[in-house]
């Protein structure tokens, strides 16, 4: 459009090719041309607008901001300016560039070394024309990969459902009109209006403020709302001290304001955290590392078998190629293709059990990782505490003390006098009643549906009145005047007149003790006003200091006819208290060898108070500030960080450094958090745990695990589950390897000794079904032993195939081989020819050995009488099914033909059962010996300590 008009302008000047005559321009055309030139200049200006860093913006005056963003502070931006700026800055949202297509996520499941080993063995089976083996292995791999993919997909979907929120909206001035827009439409330079309950849609430099309080707990960790101003700042400080800037994702608690957008999307402080989070790699879980190692060990084991058989065959003068084929077939048979399925089933069942306990697990192996987690770092606000300010103590002016129970913005809880524990309601105690009345009347907050509308500290006073059935006392007065709180005067007061009585007006005041006491000449003593003596004032000051040292926010309350002649009523102590169940969870975790550390953006006193309250390090706390963390070198911090239990005044950068230092010192770290400031640490930790209800979207995205009900104690269940899963995997590995080694050794020994094959092909297939089928699979679903939680976290360096487990596998295998060879030797005729009876006895003996071996493999340390025969129902059914199947193979004629078996007598079955039980008896005796040795060792250590 501009170009066509410009060509007409050239034609008027006679500069077109048609001719060279000059023609005068009309007045309207000149004005149009001037407007278009201004429009082009405006477009160029809009393209040069850049996001302003908060520290820089905080120092700007209103006029400087208007110039920097080319915006009229009254009328806002024009729609054309918004369009141009969006071309440069994009939408006010975050684009995760790591979203993978479905097919890639599915193919990623094949990267597991054990899966690759199984695929290699399937390929070898095809080359050696063992097509049945190849199909069964391929099917096993497909089942494992598909189950893993479906489970992870379902977890992601449930997470999406959890995080589906109404798209954030905002009020914005454009072209002189107040418009209601989606937050994603904002661009730098937009004028945004803020009011109570608004979620801040972008980083904003405030230009107008009326009593504005902003909850920045999700960003800084500060439980107390931050009072905002519109004046330029002069001093240097960190982001938490910028009182004229509000950050994306924080919440307006009180008042109203207006400001200029200085940063959107990834150019906001929220965006900086998002970019840091994307740059962090999620570490591999210990189980993944263990499975990788096991895959390599089994590969090495397979090659050793091939080598030994080929060497033996060569020494016996047999054909090398045929020996190689036998060796490869045996190696393929030795690889436990059931292992990935058992691991998968065990993990999936763990995830499903966790889902019932309101915990969403995004990645399967994370469930097991908690079993070796030895450090849990937790954010304070919203995680260990509920982010709900609550009155916990009060002291009246005449020296009465009371404790308040119950957490949150509701009437649940009581006010009890100390030390008598007498419960107070309404004005049953006049001193406490008058104190609570003052806190309720000098108040602008409203509690609806267990949520506060207004200041959290005022909400805490309303909740206190609800506990004493005094929340309606406010209705007894008509408010005439309010003297609002300001950060300079540090108090607020209201002037009221009683509704139903012809009494004079009364002032109610609340605020900082040192300010309120200046307006008092009297103090309340059991409902009677007495002169405020220096001794009485000194007593109240000591009480205020005592409450402050406990990390409480102390408010003083007073009432009276005039501001200079008030009666001092007492003090209330307010804190964001620990969530229910946190103290017990911390105690259980500490007893089981898990160290719990608190990382908060809050002040030292508050952090220590909560730390003592929840029993961190049995109250022996060592604290460290964010500044100290920043100034300390990585190696020194790694040595020092394990001894510290409370980190205060920390930023996202500090949290990340603490997590990295703990990991460098060899710890497996879980991080729990709910805010934007926790996101980077959640991603870099071995296990990131986010809160489901209070957690921000970015923290849920970064975490591996989400506590749907925000219940910290659910972590205990997850730790218990993780420890149990690893034990079950070890039990299965022990059973399957001891069985496969026995079967291989039996065939190998008979081949080497030029004896007939003790088992035919169909019998070996039946043994394989037992080895990889229901009895083996049922070991993976053994219920978690309650004693596992008390055990210390397992060492990450511990492999699945530990030395102790290998010895147990070899012991069981040698017993099975010896017993089966004994039956084979006993039943074989003198001409060494294989008969149906010989193979039936040998085959049945091996199957019974297998089932007794499975029974003892249910636990590595506990006797069968301790864990109970009936606890694992799936195991019972699978063993019963295997016994019935074996009897069918022996006694049903059609099956006798297929398996080449014959009927056995009752004495034969009794002999075989007695002999096969030896593997179970020997393993149980070994467990008993280990128990006695362990007790003797503990007693010796205890004796030495004494």
Q: Which residues are catalytic?
A: 379
Q: Which of 844, 689, 847 is nearest to 360 (CA)?
A: 689
For residues 723 and 800, the answer to whether their CB atoms sit within 8 Å is: no
> What Cα–Cα distance (Å) separates residue 775 from each residue in 334, 851, 854, 877?
18, 8, 7, 9
Return left, alpha or beta for 437; rule: phi > 0 is left, psi -120 to 50 is alpha, else beta: alpha
d(CA 186, CA 264): 7
Longest dimension (CA), the chain: 129
d(CA 770, CA 879): 9
d(CA 915, CA 856): 15
469: its two tokens: 């059935």
β strands within 608-676, DSSP E = 623-625, 646-648, 669-673
Bridge partners (DSSP) of residue 498 are 477
Q: Which of 112, 119, 140, 85 is nearest to 769 (CA)?
A: 140
d(CA 254, CA 198): 10
Bridge partners (DSSP) of residue 605 are none
Backbone phi and psi for residue 349, each to the nearest 5 degrees, phi listed first: -65, -40
d(CA 590, CA 656): 23
For residues 599 and 650, the answer to whether their CB atoms sit within 8 Å is: yes
Q: What is the DSSP string of 774-806?
A: HHHHHHTTPPPPGGGGGSPPPPTT--SS-HHHH
Which residues are CB-contacts of 43 (< 8 A; sequence separation ≥ 6)? 80, 84
d(CA 301, CA 298): 5
Instruction: Tell me whether residue 640 is exposed, middle or buried, using C-beta atoms within 10 angstroms of its C-beta: 0 to 12, 13 to 18, 19 or more.
Output: middle
Total length of the chain: 946
d(CA 83, CA 85): 6
> What Cα–Cα distance (Å) separates residue 839 from each residue in 770, 821, 831, 892?
18, 11, 15, 16
Which residues are CB-contacts of 944 (< 8 A; sequence separation ≥ 6)? none
Backbone phi and psi for residue 714, each to the nearest 5 degrees, phi listed first: -65, -20
d(CA 688, CA 681): 8
CB burial readout 390-403, b (16+ within 10 A) else e: bbbbbbbbbebebe
Rg of the chain taking only CA atoms, in angstroms: 38
d(CA 213, CA 446): 16
Instruction: Tally Cβ neighbours within 10 Å of residue 83.
Output: 13
Quick check: bond before 831 cis, omega within 30?
Answer: no
Q: What is the DSSP string of 875-898?
A: HHHHHHHHHHHHHHHHH-HHHHHH
Backbone phi and psi for residue 478, each to the nearest 5 degrees, phi listed first: -105, 120
Which residues are CB-contacts of 480 (< 8 A; sequence separation ≥ 6)? 495, 496, 497, 505
């Amino acid at each position: 459009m501009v170009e066509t008009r410009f060509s007409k302008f050239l034609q008027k000047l006679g500069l077109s090719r048609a001719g060279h005559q000059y023609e005068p321009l009309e007045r309207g055309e000149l004005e149009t041309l001037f407007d278009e030139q201004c429009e082009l200049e405006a477009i160029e200006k809009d393209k040069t607008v850049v996001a302003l860093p908060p520290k820089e913006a905080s120092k700007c005056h209103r006029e400087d901001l208007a110039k920097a963003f080319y915006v009229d502070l009254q009328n806002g931006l024009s729609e054309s300016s918004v369009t141009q700026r969006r071309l440069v800055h994009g939408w006010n949202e975050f684009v995760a560039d790591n979203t993978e297509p479905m097919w890639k996520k599915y193919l990623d499941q094949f990267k597991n070394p054990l899966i690759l080993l199984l695929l290699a063995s399937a390929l070898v089976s095809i080359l050696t024309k063992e097509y049945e083996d190849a199909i069964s292995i391929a099917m096993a791999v497909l089942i494992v990969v598909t189950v893993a993919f479906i489970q992870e997909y379902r977890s992601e979907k449930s997470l999406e459902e959890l995080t589906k929120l109404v798209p954030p909206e905002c009020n914005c001035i454009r072209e002189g009109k107040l418009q209601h827009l989606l937050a994603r439409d904002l661009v730098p330079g937009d004028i945004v209006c803020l009011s109570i309950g608004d979620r801040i849609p972008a980083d904003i430099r405030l230009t107008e403020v009326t009593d504005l309080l902003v909850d920045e707990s999700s960003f800084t960790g500060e439980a107390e709302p931050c009072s905002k101003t519109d004046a330029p700042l002069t001093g240097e400080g960190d982001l938490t001290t910028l009182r004229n800037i509000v950050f994306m994702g924080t919440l307006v608690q009180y008042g109203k304001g207006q400001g200029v957008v200085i940063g959107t999307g990834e150019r906001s402080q929220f965006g900086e955290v998002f970019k840091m989070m994307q740059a962090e790699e999620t570490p591999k879980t210990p189980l993944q590392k263990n499975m990788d190692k096991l895959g390599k060990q089994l590969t090495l084991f397979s090659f050793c078998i091939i080598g030994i058989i080929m060497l033996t065959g060569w020494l016996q003068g047999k054909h090398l190629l045929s020996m190689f084929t036998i060796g490869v077939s045996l190696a393929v048979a030795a690889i436990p293709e059931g292992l990935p399925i058992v691991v998968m089933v065990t993990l999936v069942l763990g995830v499903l059990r966790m889902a019932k306990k309101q915990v969403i697990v995004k990645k399967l192996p994370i469930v097991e990782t908690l079993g070796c987690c030895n450090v849990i770092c937790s954010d304070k606000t919203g995680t260990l505490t509920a982010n709900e300010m609550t009155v916990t103590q009060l002291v009246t002016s005449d020296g009465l003390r009371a404790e308040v129970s119950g957490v949150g913005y509701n009437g649940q809880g009581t006010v009890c006098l100390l030390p008598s524990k007498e419960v107070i309601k309404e004005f049953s105690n006049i001193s406490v009643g008058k104190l609570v009345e003052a806190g309720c009347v000098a108040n602008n907050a409203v509690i609806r549906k267990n949520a506060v509308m207004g200041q959290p500290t005022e909400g805490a006073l309303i909740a206190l009145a609800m506990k004493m059935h005094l929340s309606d006392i406010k209705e007894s007065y008509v408010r005439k005047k309010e003297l609002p709180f300001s950060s300079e005067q540090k108090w607020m007061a209201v002037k009221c007149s009683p509704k139903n009585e012809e009494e004079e007006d009364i002032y109610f005041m609340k605020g900082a003790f040192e300010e309120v006491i200046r307006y008092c000449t009297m103090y309340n003593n059991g409902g009677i006003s007495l002169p405020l003596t220096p001794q009485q004032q000194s007593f109240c000051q000591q009480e205020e200091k005592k409450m402050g040292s406990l990390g409480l926010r102390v408010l003083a309350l007073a009432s009276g006819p005039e501001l200079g002649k008030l009666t001092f009523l007492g003090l209330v102590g307010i804190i964001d208290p620990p969530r229910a169940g946190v103290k017990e969870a911390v105690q259980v975790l500490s007893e089981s060898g898990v160290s719990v550390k608190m990382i908060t953006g809050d002040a030292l006193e508050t952090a220590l108070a909560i730390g003592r309250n929840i029993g961190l390090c049995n109250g022996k706390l060592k604290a460290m500030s964010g500044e100290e963390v920043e100034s300390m070198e990585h190696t020194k911090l790694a040595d020092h960080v394990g001894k510290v239990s409370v980190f205060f005044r920390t930023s996202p950068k500090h949290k990340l450094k603490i997590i990295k230092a703990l990991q460098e010192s060899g710890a497996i770290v879980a991080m729990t958090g709910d805010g934007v400031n926790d996101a980077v640490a959640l991603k870099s930790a071995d296990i990131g745990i986010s809160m489901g209800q209070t957690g921000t979207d970015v923290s849920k995205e970064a975490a591996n695990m989400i506590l749907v009900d925000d219940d910290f104690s659910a972590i205990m269940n997850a730790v218990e589950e993780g420890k149990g899963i690893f034990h079950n995997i070890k039990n299965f590995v022990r059973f399957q390897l001891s069985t496969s080694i026995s079967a291989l050794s039996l065939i190998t020994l008979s081949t080497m000794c030029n004896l007939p094959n003790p088992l035919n092909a169909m019998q070996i297939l039946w043994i394989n079904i037992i080895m990889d089928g229901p009895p083996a699979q049922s070991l993976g679903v053994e219920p978690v032993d309650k004693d596992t939680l008390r055990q210390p976290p397992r060492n990450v360096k511990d492999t699945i195939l530990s030395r102790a487990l290998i010895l147990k596998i070899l012991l069981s295998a040698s017993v099975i081989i010896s017993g089966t060879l004994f039956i084979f030797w006993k039943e074989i005729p003198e001409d060494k020819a294989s008969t149906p009876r010989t193979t039936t006895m040998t085959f049945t003996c091996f199957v019974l050995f297998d089932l007794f071996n499975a029974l003892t493999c249910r636990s590595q340390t506990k006797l069968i009488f301790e864990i109970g025969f009936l606890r694992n129902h799936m195991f019972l059914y699978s063993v019963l099914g295997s016994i019935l199947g074996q009897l069918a193979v022996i006694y049903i004629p059609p099956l006798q033909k297929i398996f080449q078996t014959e009927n056995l007598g009752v004495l034969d079955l009794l002999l075989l059962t007695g002999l096969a039980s030896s593997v179970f008896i020997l393993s149980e005796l070994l467990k008993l010996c280990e128990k006695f040795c362990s007790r003797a060792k503990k007693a010796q250590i205890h004796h030495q300590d004494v």
